[in-house]
Amino acid sequence: MKLHANLTVRASVHAADVAWQPSPVGGVERRMLHRVGDEVAQATSIVRYAPGSRFSPHTHGGGEEFLVLEGVFQDETGDFPAGTYVRNPPGSRHAPGSQAGTTIFVKLWQFDPADSAQVRIPTHTAARVTETGRPGVQVAPLHRTAHEDVRIEHWAPHHTLKLDLPQGGEFLVLGGSFTEGGETFAPQSWLRLPAGSRLVAHTRDAGARVWAKLGHLEHLEHLATLVPTQPVE
């Protein structure tokens, strides 16, 4: 399966308006944003766990990155409430689920094989900084390597934001809204812009809180070639 697999073109999904699709596990549904592969895939999705649902223990051969959007995500290492950003590196293993139910934004098979960092950050309390030359924007850094820069960005109300993207960028709205390219992006809306493009976004009364990943698209295409064609435990 290929969904928004061409990284050289703009892609957007307003996931809140998309029907949930079942996963192989009862009680777990997903809204697919980007996918290269079948059940084992390089994937970007919004995933919803019904109360009491759980996956069996499994290994993430290509790593797993997620942000808890609603509820409480759980595995053997603890409880992760809404706003928690997590990175489980390649080779990590767990049995995820949720007793009360949860919704997460998750990316699979998008880790550099050499990236072994395990990250747990409560983003609601993460320190914000103002970057030089970016008025109206505050940034909470989450993770940075030679191939990616992950952060939460807070965009001021009634602000026009311009950002050059020499290596592309990806954005998920967490709160508020903005317009770009004639579209309005509200919570659970996802936008990916190719390398060499420029983000020009306009916020409204509430501003916008956005998860962003920059500088990763060229490397992402390479990582898709590492996805096995069969499940690996």
With 90 as the cut, is the pLDDT of residue 228 above it?
Answer: no
- For the chain, the distance separating the N- and C-terminal CA atoms, rounded to the nearest angstrom, is 21
CA distance 66 to 72: 13
Instruction: Please tell me whether residues 172 and 159 are part of one structural domain.
Output: yes
Instruction: Please tell me whether residues 26 and 100 are part of one structural domain.
Output: yes
pLDDT for the residue 115: 94
Residue 35, domain extent: 2-122
The identity of residue 16, as a single letter, is A
Check: CB of residue 96 under 8 Å from CB of residue 57: no
Identify whether 229 is part of a domain. no
Nearest C-alpha neighbor of 201 from the set 4, 5, 12: 12
Instruction: Please tell me whether residues 132 and 108 are part of one structural domain.
Output: no
Instruction: Pick the last residue of a domain from 62, 94, 122.
Output: 122
Q: Name the domain count of the chain.
A: 2
Identify whether 233 is part of a domain. no
CA distance 87 to 218: 20
Instruction: Please tell me whether residues 180 and 133 are part of one structural domain.
Output: yes
Instruction: Please tell me whether residues 9 and 103 are part of one structural domain.
Output: yes
Q: Which residues contact 182 (CB under 8 A, 6 or more apart)?
A: none
CA distance 117 to 91: 12
Nearest C-alpha neighbor of 152 from the set 176, 132, 168, 133: 176
Instruction: Please tell me whether residues 130 and 78 are part of one structural domain.
Output: no
Instruction: Please tell me whether residues 127 and 43 are part of one structural domain.
Output: no
- What digits encode the pLDDT tens for the residues 5-58? 999 999 999 999 999 999 999 999 999 999 999 888 999 999 999 999 999 998
Identify whether 33 is part of a domain. yes
Instruction: Pick the last residue of a domain from 122, 157, 182.
Output: 122
Instruction: Please tell me whether residues 105 and 208 are part of one structural domain.
Output: no
With 90 as the cut, is the pLDDT of residue 85 above it?
Answer: yes
pLDDT for the residue 221: 86
- What digits encode the pLDDT tens for the residues 171-224? 999 999 999 999 999 999 999 999 999 999 999 999 999 999 999 999 898 898
Instruction: Please tell me whether residues 87 and 116 are part of one structural domain.
Output: yes
The three-state DSSP-derived secondary structure of the chain is CEECCCCCCCEEEEHHHCCCEECCCCCEEEEEEEEEECCCEEEEEEEEECCCEECCCEEECCCEEEEEEEEEEEECCEEEECCEEEEECCCEEECCEECCCEEEEEEECCCCCCCCCCEEEEHHHCCCECCCCCCCEEEEEEEECCCCEEEEEEECCCCEEEEEECCCEEEEEEEEEEEECCEEECCCEEEEECCCEEEEEEEEEEEEEEEEEECCHHHHHHHHCCCCCCCCC
pLDDT for the residue 233: 37
CA distance 186 to 197: 21
Compute the average pLDDT of residues 72-101: 96
CA distance 139 to 130: 6
Identify whether 29 is part of a domain. yes
Instruction: Pick the last residue of a domain from 122, 145, 162.
Output: 122
pLDDT for the residue 232: 41
Instruction: Please tell me whether residues 127 and 116 are part of one structural domain.
Output: no
- Is residue 230 very low, low, confident or very high in pLDDT (cuts 50, 70, 90)? low
Instruction: Please tell me whether residues 101 and 21 are part of one structural domain.
Output: yes
Identify whether 151 is part of a domain. yes
With 70 as the cut, is the pLDDT of residue 231 above it?
Answer: no
Check: CB of residue 75 under 8 Å from CB of residue 97: yes
- Is residue 68 very low, low, confident or very high in pLDDT (cuts 50, 70, 90)? very high
